[in-house]
Structure 1
Amino acid sequence: MHGLTHPEAVTLGPDATAWELADAMDAHGVGSIVIVDAARAPVGIVTDRDLVRRVVARGLDESKVRASEIMSRDLVTGDPHETSGELLERMRARGVRRIALVDDGRIAGVASFDDVLTGLATVLWNAADAVRVELRETARKTATRRRAEAREELVEDFRSYVSELESSARTRIEHDVRGFFDWLGGRRD
């Protein structure tokens, strides 16, 4: 999952206020905060959508609502070494857009749906570029090989033609020489 996760998950404790959560999201440019206990083990997640639906839409005081009151406790987790495909399948199956990556019981990062898709798009684009380069090189080598084969075929055809000309010329010369000697022989009489 290298390059497809936020370098480090932004984390806060369960006592953080909704205001602190929103401020941290804004400061770090993320859409979620992983809520961790004292040992940095993930216990929940709060997304920007959670803040809107569970705090703002209800008209609650952002400075009094705690993360523990609005976090999703059914945190979907994954291993930092899982493939993008495995993470996407888990997101689809669980209906989430973010997975907390946990290594040895501690939060190691967050994989978002957008991050994974962007990473996959980059991988696919790079693969397509590599295929294009390989196809061009193969076409170049094929064209070079075909030109060499055509050249050899032309040389062989030319040799064959010259050989036929030599044979034809030799036959014609022999015929002409015999005819000349026959003519000379006929004049002696």
Structure 2
Amino acid sequence: MSLESISIMDILNKDVKTAEQNQNIFEVSKIMFDNDIGSIVIVDSNASKNPVGIITEKDIIRILSSTQLVNLQVPIKELMSCPIITLSSQSSILDAMKLMYERKIRRIIILEGNSFVGIITEHDLFNTLMKNKDLITMVADSNLPIPQKDMYQDFAHHWFSNSFFK
């Protein structure tokens, strides 16, 4: 088993909460709170529900700290992060790791063709690595474009936040 041989389809989250782009920040925040999640995929208003953006907890904090209350009723499409960053459902977890590091993101929307099939997060990747210790060795010994210091900090952060405080 290698990082290239594990499909992101094996670990992605298919139960993704979405909001339509005409909803406001209060509605989106309520969905996040009610579902205890850190992001919402924003979809278009068409029947196809194609992803057009994403809002994260960090985005909401940024928005709330920099806007006037009157602006909080604007459609989320004016506040969301876009364009979205995607990977094909045929990609590997190695592809996801590289893209997350290069783009400095923690979530990637997964598409099968043009259809939205799920989301993969840095926690999904780390959980997969932690379940298979051989993969951790491969990551540490690999020629990934991720500096070792950054990788070790990410492992330490994930390990401590998920092991001891839950």
Normalised TM-score (structure 2): 0.68
Which amino acid in 1 is paired with 2:104?
G
Aligned equivalent of 2:129: 120
2:20 paired with 1:4: no
Q: CA deviation at 1:66?
A: 2.0
Separation in structure 2 between the aligned mates of residue 118 and residue 99 of structure 1, nearest angstrom = 16
Paired with 2:14 and 2:49, the residues of 1 have a C-alpha distance of 16
Kindly state the Cα deviation for residue 7 of structure 1 after the two structures are TM-superposed. 2.7
> Please, which of 94, 97, 104 is the counterpart of residue 113 of structure 2?
104
> Which residue of 1 is the match for residue 49 of structure 2?
40
Deviations 1:36-85 (A, max 9, x none): 11122111111111111013443435851321111011211012332111
Letter in 2 for 1:120: L
Identity of aligned residues (%): 24
**Which residue identity is paired with 2:84?**
L
Alpha-carbon displacement from aligned partner over 1:127-164 (angstroms, at most 9, x marks no partner): 99xxxxxxxxxxxxxxxxxxxxxxxxxxxxxxxxxxxx
Cα distance between partner residues in 2 of 1:77 and 1:9: 15
What are the ranges of 5 or more consecutive residues in structure 1 without an aligned counterpart?
129-189
CA contact under 8 A between 2:88 and 2:113: conserved in structure 1?
A: no
Which deviates more from structure 2 when the two are superposed, residues 114-123 or residues 62-71? Answer: 62-71
Report what 1:74 is aligned to.
Answer: 83
SS in structure 2 at match of 1:45: strand
Match of 1:87 in 2: 96
Matched residue of 2:42: which SS? strand
Give the alignment partner of residue 15 of structure 1, picking from 22, 40, 59. 22
For residue 111 of structure 1, what is the amino acid of its counterpart?
I
User: 2:71 & 2:132 partners in 1: Cα distance?
Assistant: 41
Partner of 1:26: 33
How far apart are the structure 1 equivalents of 2:38 and 2:10?
Answer: 18
Q: TM-score, normalised by structure 1?
A: 0.60
Deviates more, 1:24-33 or 1:54-63: 54-63
Q: Which has the higher helix share?
A: 1
